[in-house]
Amino acid sequence: MTEEAIEYNVAPPPPVVPKVPVRYAGFWMRFWAYLADLIIVFSINGIILLPLKLAAGGDEISIGYWTVAGIIATVVLYLYFLIMTKFYSQTLGKMIFGIKVIMKDGSRPDWSALVFREIIGRFLHRVLGVTVLLYIIVAFDNRKKGIHDIIADTRVIHVRGINIAK
């Protein structure tokens, strides 16, 4: 048998992907994307909660200290950010402004990172009135990370004109 007839099962080397410099999304870009997301979430909550309010005759249905509308609105808010970021790496507001959430290594965020970022991180920012001011850290960090990004080890980057790992 000649050498030409022997097949070798050797995988080809991985393609060389040139490193592209990453542009981190700053405070104002993230702020406007968040405002767009809030408008979207408030609209979704209006669509969901209006029939409940009409069915209750305009009265608030309470469960102890909380109202049913407040509980549903909060669940919708957290689920919107969690699900959109998991499946698209960005919310609709981030899509509008061309920014995306990635892990430190450039990969898509996993469930555990997103639970910390989108639920625990956002809860910490909302639990006390003054903690919402911690978002300002984004303006001063060299990688534009907020507290929730630090907890989850994520980054928010510009995606227009940049190829990143999906």
Task: Please tell me the predicted confidence (pLDDT) of residue 121.
Answer: 85
Q: Which distant-in-sequence residues (6+ apart) come within 8 Å of 135 by Cβ?
A: 27, 31, 125, 146, 147
On the question of pLDDT at 14 being above 90, the answer is no
Nearest CA among 100, 84, 83 for reference residue 30: 100
Is the pTM for the entire model greater than 0.85?
no
14 assigned to some structural domain: no
Average confidence (pLDDT) over 61-67? 68
Element (H, E) at 106: none
163 assigned to some structural domain: no
10 assigned to some structural domain: no
Average pLDDT value over all residues in the chain: 83
The pair of structure tokens assigned to 34 is 């968040």
> Which stretches does DSSP call E strand in 86-148?
99-103
13 assigned to some structural domain: no
Number of domain units in the chain: 1
2 assigned to some structural domain: no
Average confidence (pLDDT) over 43-67? 77
Q: Which residues pair with 66 in a beta bridge?
A: 63
On the question of pLDDT at 42 being above 90, the answer is yes
On the question of pLDDT at 133 being above 70, the answer is yes
9 assigned to some structural domain: no
Task: Please tell me the predicted confidence (pLDDT) of residue 3.
Answer: 56
Q: Which residues pair with 156 in a beta bridge?
A: 101
11 assigned to some structural domain: no
Containing domain of residue 80, as a range? 23-158
3 assigned to some structural domain: no
Of 1-5, 19-23, 103-107, 113-117, the one with minimum mean pLDDT is 1-5
